[in-house]
Amino acid sequence: MPRIVEVVVVSCLIAWSLAAADRAVAARATSAGAAVTGATTAGEGIAAEAATMADAAPATAGADSRQSEIEGFKRAIRKLYDLKEKAWAAGDAESIVTKFYSPDAISVGEGDPNTMVGRDQFRAAYRQYVKDVPSIRIESVRTYVNGNAGWDWANFYSYPKPDKKSLYPPSPIRILFTWAKENGRWVCKGDIFVNGKFPKLP
């Protein structure tokens, strides 16, 4: 009888020890799983942040490129406005016609029933303009460009001779210049104007 009791006690101790070992193994596995899950979550967070930064980078680069394009266009047409102002003051209609406008340029304005088209008509008109109006000034107001095409809203100031004022609209006028880049050079494809002055635009 005592021998049987001893065997039972030993068996119980062995069973308890095995159960405890199983619990320890399970606890270690759970802890390891939590660590792996945490590492995975952290990794996913880093990946998501990296993806967001990667998406933002092209947008920023695109905005910078766009601004650079606009600024470059503004500088180019400002040089041409300066050319037109100086040529006008010098009575040099030919430089305006051939260096500012394209050969197929078009011009039309409020109150003028005629539409100027092409070099011959521009040449005849500008020869008269520079005689009647000693000087002009162009003030760019709003600019747009996309690739090889652009346009510019501007205030156009003119200062006719006293006896010629009645032949021209009150100064300034609101004018829209259209532009194209041809053979690597910006040229004015024409303009259209209405009376009045653009306010300062945002």
CATH classification of the domain holding 183: 3.10.450.50
pLDDT at 2 over 50: no
Instruction: Give me the pLDDT at residue 201, please.
Output: 81
**Residue 64 belongs to a domain:** no
**Residue 3 belongs to a domain:** no
**Residue 66 belongs to a domain:** no
Instruction: Give me the pLDDT at residue 64, please.
Output: 86
pLDDT at 4 over 80: no
**Residue 71 belongs to a domain:** no
Residue 13's pLDDT band, with cuts at 50, 70 and 90, is: very low
> What residues make up the domain containing 135?
76-195
**Residue 179 belongs to a domain:** yes
**Residue 134 belongs to a domain:** yes
Q: 49 versus 9: which is more confidently predicted?
A: 49
Give pTM, 2 decimals.
Answer: 0.70
Q: 95 versus 33: which is more confidently predicted?
A: 95
**Residue 88 belongs to a domain:** yes
The model's pLDDT over 104-136, given as tens digits with 9 standing for 90+, comes to: 999 999 988 899 999 999 999 999 999 999 999
Instruction: Give me the pLDDT at residue 159, please.
Output: 97
Distances, alpha carbon 68 to alpha carbons 13, 57, 62, 136, 201, in Å: 82, 17, 10, 29, 20
CA–CA–CA angle 189, 193, 198 (5° rounding): 115
Virtual CA dihedral for 79, 85, 89, 91, nearest 10 degrees?
Answer: 90
Supply the mean pLDDT for the chain. 82
The model's pLDDT over 160-190, given as tens digits with 9 standing for 90+, comes to: 999 999 999 999 999 999 999 999 999 999 9
70-81: average pLDDT? 97
Residue with tokens 């003051």: 89
Count of the separate structural domains present in the chain: 1
**Residue 164 belongs to a domain:** yes
